[in-house]
Structure 1
Amino acid sequence: MTKKKKHTKNPEAYCEVLFNSLSTNRHLWGTHDACRPITRLAYEEVFSSGNDPYALELISERALALKPAQRCQDHYLSPQFLVGRMIMDNQEKYLDDYDKFKDIFFLARRTITVTKTENSALSTLTYNRGGYDGYEIYVPTDKKYDKIGISLLTKTDKEGEEGWTAAAVKANPPIPFATEDAYGHPVIRELLRYEEDYLCEMDLKREEKFNKKWDEIKLRDEEV
């Protein structure tokens, strides 16, 4: 019996499906009940298309101390916000030009390797209450890792896990997150300007949730 070859996922297929879906629903954007499901479409297709941890090859210092199976991938550019909300607010620019849309889709697939606790804490820095005006950002995208106290390490030229050795840490000390590689793309600079209208202070409930996650990180640091 011939063994079936493992299917290689084609992210562009997901990109095209999402482009067609958003284009079809563009007339609904701005209506209260349609906003969340539309941005959810963006979230689902970006995540389903697979991660791209190789564009930046960054890992948190805490994640480096864990086994690969204990790490997770953080989409440092929110797919729901970048591919969903920003595109739908700029439909003529991004839904009338598939190539521009594709650029954003593939940027949103970029990930950084972090711990599950760090990833959970990062998720508390935004909140979606639903509706057009229901999205809140508590920390700018390029400041989130600093807020959580995440130090990032670059990878060496070595392939595979050997690239994340202690020697690699010494050769590549923690770097600021807002690097040219992470935020130099014109679309990402546009995102940082666009999200300014959504920046606000955490309410007490959200602040308590963030502090709880932050305490979990500090506790794990003490256990290491």
Structure 2
Amino acid sequence: MSNISRPSGAADAYSSEAALRQDLTRLALPGTHAGCRLIMPGNEAALLPGEDTNSRGRSVAAQRATGAGRLLARELLPMMGAPAQAVARSPSGAPVWPRGVTGSIAHDDEVAVAIVGPTRSYVSLGIDLEPAGLLPADLLMTVLTPGERRKGNPDDPLHGRILFSVKEAVYKAVQPIDLAFLEFEDVEVDLVAGTAVVQGRRVVPFRVSRGLRILTLAFIPAED
């Protein structure tokens, strides 16, 4: 047992990180590698050229979170047989992955998560991280479609937050392929089936873990 003491806030953060690692394991897809890391002071200095193209207009906290996500992505790339390298930011904000690799990055105020996988198995991946709390009522009306409201579970206080997270993850998976800007109403989520239909056409599978945070992974399998 470690005899290293940490302030209570730090202990809570490390406990939260451990729980998130377990959530990532539960969501694991064959052939993918995922991880998480706490956002720490100094992570903003780890950004490489091209990884934060809007740094001048962003707060230190935002740059720090981006730096933590990029550090994590670089750590995961060698697991795919690719060298650790800069993960540039596209004009849309999506990560630019090396040839043969797809992936996604997300973060909140405390922790960053990332996942990578082979393009021979997945056209695209999308990951999202949200607090396990109520979605504000005004945002709930924006996020849910009429069909989702009819099928909603009034006994589940996290229902709206989960749908929000699914739609964010689905957007991340779809945008690099279709290059389309999506509204919440463009994505119809079926939590029972574990699929989302985008603009009435593309069907995107997803997985959700609900613990200390809501963690969602959307994926588009490669065609056989």
Structure 2 length-normalised TM = 0.27
Q: Name the structure, 1 or 2, with higher relative contact order (CA <8 Å, separation 6+).
A: 1
The answer to which structure has the higher strand fraction is 2
> Which of the two has greater helix per residue?
1
